[in-house]
């Protein structure tokens, strides 16, 4: 599938999406929103793909919504409604995807770009990365990401980050629990690959179910969530991967999971 705003490659069961609007810091316009969503759906439905990595070209991971497009829009209300809905579809697809998604934050991650990273399951950031919720700074109510950031850092810190639109470093993001790991810029690809290879070896069905449980845990009460855990554990016990896993454990060897 040919795209104007991103590139998708596949290598050894790992998919790579590279946002490719470097002159605009890979900011979201409607085309990027549509192409990213379609690509995510394609990856989600491909059983051969075990892990997805999302990164950006140039100095930015994603600069958020394209402010130039907002400025030029004749009907700004309608444009922001369409743009936020396009971004939301991508965020929902990442969270619903039954495979791990890793964000490689190489530079700027502002506004919806930060939200895109937060939607991913693992975030590895370069020491050069800079992040901001950004929306209020241009007089815009946040179009996405307020739930993610609040769940991560708590109410009062979320208010500070959102109300002030302050820019924070990768190290600050690490201390706040926003990112998993911070590395030197020339080590970013290697660090992300290390995560991807580790996750690729895991049982994909069990990991997909675990991702669903993690997401559901943010809205379920304890009793209903325990029941969901019991149900999903019993379902995963019917897979060939579970038989392989316990057999390998008894035989003191590494399991070979096939996603069946």
- Determine the pLDDT at residue 2: 83
Exposure string of 42-80, with b = 16+ CB inside 10 Å and e = fewer, is ebbeeeebbbbbbbbbbebbbbbbbbebbeeeeeeeebb
In order of their start, the domains of the chain are 6-200 (3.90.226.10), 204-250 (1.10.12)
- Please name which of 99, 96, 92, 139 lies closest in space to residue 116, comparing C-alpha atoms: 92
Segments in the chain below pLDDT 70: 1
Mean pLDDT, the chain, as a whole number? 95
What pairs with residue 14 in β-bridges?
Answer: 11, 51
- Determine the pLDDT at residue 37: 98
Strands, E, within the chain: which ranges? 6-11, 14-19, 51-56, 60-62, 101-105, 108-110, 122-126, 130-132, 168-169, 181-183
CB-based contact 106:56 (threshold 8 Å):
yes
- Determine the pLDDT at residue 44: 96
Tens digits of residue pLDDT in 191-210: 999 999 999 999 999 999 99
- Determine the pLDDT at residue 233: 95
What is the signed CA dihedral for 134, 58, 200, 174, rounded to 10 degrees? -40
């Amino acid at each position: 599938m040919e795209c104007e705003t991103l590139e998708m490659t596949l290598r050894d069961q790992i998919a790579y999406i590279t946002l490719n609007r470097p002159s605009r810091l890979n900011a979201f316009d409607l085309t990027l929103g549509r192409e990213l969503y379609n690509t995510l759906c394609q990856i989600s439905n491909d059983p051969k793909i075990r892990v997805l990595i999302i990164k950006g070209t140039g100095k930015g991971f994603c600069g958020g919504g394209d402010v130039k497009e907002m400025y030029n829009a004749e009907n700004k209300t309608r444009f922001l409604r369409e743009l936020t809905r396009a971004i939301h579809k991508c965020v929902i697809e990442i969270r619903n995807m039954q495979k791990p998604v890793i964000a490689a934050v190489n530079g700027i991650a502002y506004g919806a770009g930060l939200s895109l990273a937060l939607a991913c399951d693992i975030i590895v950031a370069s020491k050069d990365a800079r992040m901001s919720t950004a929306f209020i700074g241009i007089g815009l109510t946040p179009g996405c990401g307020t739930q993610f950031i609040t769940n991560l850092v708590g109410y009062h810190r979320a208010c500070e980050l959102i109300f002030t639109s302050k820019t924070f470093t990768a190290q600050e993001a690490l201390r706040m629990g926003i990112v998993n790991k911070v590395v030197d810029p020339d080590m970013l690809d290697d660090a992300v690959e290390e995560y991807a290879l580790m996750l690729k070896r895991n049982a994909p069905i069990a990991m997909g179910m675990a991702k669903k449980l993690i997401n559901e845990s943010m809205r379920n009460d304890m009793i209903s969530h325990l029941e969901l855990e019991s149900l999903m554990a019993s379902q995963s016990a019917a897979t060939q991967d579970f038989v392989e896993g316990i057999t390998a454990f008894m035989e003191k060897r590494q399991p070979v999971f096939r996603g069946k």
